[in-house]
Copies of this chain bind each other. A is one copy, B any other.
Amino acid sequence: MTTTPVAPFTDLDAAPATPDFGPATQLTCRECGTSYSLGAAYACVECFGPLEVGYDFSGVSRAVIESGPQNMWRYSCLLPVASYAGDERNLNPGLTRLVRADNLATALGITGTLWVKDDSGNPTHSFKDRVVAVAQSAARRLGLGTIACASTGNLANAVAAAAARAGQDSVVVIPSNLESGKVLTTAAYGGILLAVDGNYDDVNRLCSELVGDPLTADWGFVNVNLRPYYAEGSKTVGYEIAEQLGWRLPQQVVAPIASGSLLTKVDKAFREFVSLGLVEETPWKVFGAQATGCSPVSQAFRAGHDVVRPVRPDTIAKSLAIGNPADGPYALDVVRRTGGAIEDVSDAEVVEGIRLLAETEGIFAETAGGVVVATLRKLLATGQLDPTQETVILNTGDGLKTLDAIAEHVGPTATIAHDVDEVTRVLAEHHARHR
């Protein structure tokens, strides 16, 4: 319970010759298996495949984890971070609530236990705090003084806030036509915020050019040249679910798919816990959720394809609107291997999903959470998800950031004069309607 005093900020100019990445030993190409030393690299020189962190786990036990801090750093022994990463200045995200959702289960006809893993409780209210925390740690080890990203929302908030907390520079690049609320939230943290004339594709292209430019020699783009580390942060969602269930695995998990990374990392977390003997090996199924307006992985799943054909996103679920998802094929692999499924839902269903979760459990999710709830309903209706099994659904962000999505759909029950008789009348009408 005691909050450990934070160690003095590590000097970013003094990265050691052999960086300490804890249990991580190398980067390995997912496609051809070529290995590389740990550095700011993300694509295989041989085959252009994505690089993933490799480990030599030792000294991992329930006791070690349980004696750790009440945040994601309790899993340091399973991440590409030094053992002291949690003592360096960061936002200390994680260990968010796992909420038992009996009302939602009843509303959907689920008789097994239903849980919501609610990552809106993170410091900047999305799961992106987890991935940024690991990327920020990697940037320190690699002597990269500035953390950067291209983003349209949650990631921008998470990077700017984490940099402020660490007293380091940040560069966040956004499209200039972004909603003012998202601009303000990021700008409040005071880093460099570049609004680029153009759309998100233009922003991404600019960032790709910047990665190779001498200007950015000490920049860590969290989701580009630090991506292998960044992505591993999502494993902590899976670790927490298993530990919070009392060191066991759920039977079904429903995760949103943007790049596809989160879904694959939750599965990876479960596999690691099993292989390390931390939980009993019981079967689990992983389900994916997309908005129909950006559903390339769902379409590939339905068509039985192994490749994912890029789409142009058009949905209110902007935090999931990645038309060409880097980890889409791997997400397909996980879902097919575990016997799950992937579905997509309309924007109207997304709004219904947001409202259903808020009205039944008091959890106000962003659009991505609405996608997951609506997909859960669809998976039940189509018989793909078993209503009698224990199920965990992921809420990755906060409704306060996507108010526009519900603006036309909710409002006051009534507007009245300040008069008790008016209240009486409105309540009588309301109860008559709902009886």
Q: Which residues of A contact B (CB under 8 A)?
A: 1-3, 5-6, 66, 70, 89, 91-92, 97-100, 102-103, 113, 115, 121, 123-125, 160-165, 167, 171, 174, 176, 180-181, 183-185, 187-190, 192-198, 202-203, 205-206, 209-210, 213, 215, 243-246, 354-355, 358-364, 398-401, 403, 406-407, 410-420, 423-424, 426-427, 430
Contacts and interface: CB of A to CB of B under 8 A. Distances in A.
B410 A187 contact: yes
Nearest to A166: B362
30 contacts: A1-B244, A2-B244, A3-B115, A89-B103, A97-B123, A103-B167, A123-B363, A125-B125, A160-B362, A164-B359, A176-B412, A183-B412, A185-B403, A187-B410, A188-B359, A188-B364, A188-B406, A189-B359, A190-B410, A192-B426, A193-B411, A194-B412, A195-B412, A195-B416, A196-B417, A202-B418, A203-B418, A206-B423, A398-B400, A400-B401
Given A98-B3, A202-B418, A123 B362 contact: yes
Given A406-B188, A411-B187, A412-B193, A91 B362 contact: yes
Contacts of A413: 192-194
B102 A6 contact: yes
Given A1-B66, A2-B244, A195-B412, 6 more contacts: A103-B164, A176-B412, A184-B406, A184-B407, A192-B430, A210-B423
Nearest to A246: B2
B6 A100 contact: yes
A117 to B, nearest CB: 10
B121 A121 contact: yes
Contacts of A5: 100, 113
A410 B70 contact: no
Contacts of A113: 5
A3 B244 contact: yes
A415 B362 contact: no
Nearest to A410: B187
A185 B364 contact: yes
Please tell me how many copies of the chain the complex holds.
2
Contacts of A417: 196-198
Q: Which 8 A-B pairs have the closest CB atoms?
A: A165-B362, A190-B359, A161-B362, A187-B410, A195-B412, A164-B362, A400-B400, A195-B415
A8 to B, nearest CB: 8
Contacts of A171: 427
A200 to B, nearest CB: 11
A103 to B, nearest CB: 5
Contact of A399 (B162, B185, B209, B361): B185
Nearest to A1: B243
B423 A215 contact: yes
A188 to B, nearest CB: 4
A356 to B, nearest CB: 9
Nearest to A424: B215
A418 B362 contact: no
A420 B164 contact: no
Contact of A194 (B160, B188, B426): B426
A192 to B, nearest CB: 5
Nearest to A356: B190
Nearest to A361: B165
Contacts of A245: 2-3
A181 B424 CA distance: 27
Contacts of A354: 188
A164 to B, nearest CB: 4
Nearest to A8: B102
B197 A416 contact: yes
B401 A188 contact: no
Nearest to A212: B420
B190 A355 contact: yes
Given A185-B364, A194-B413, A161 B123 contact: no
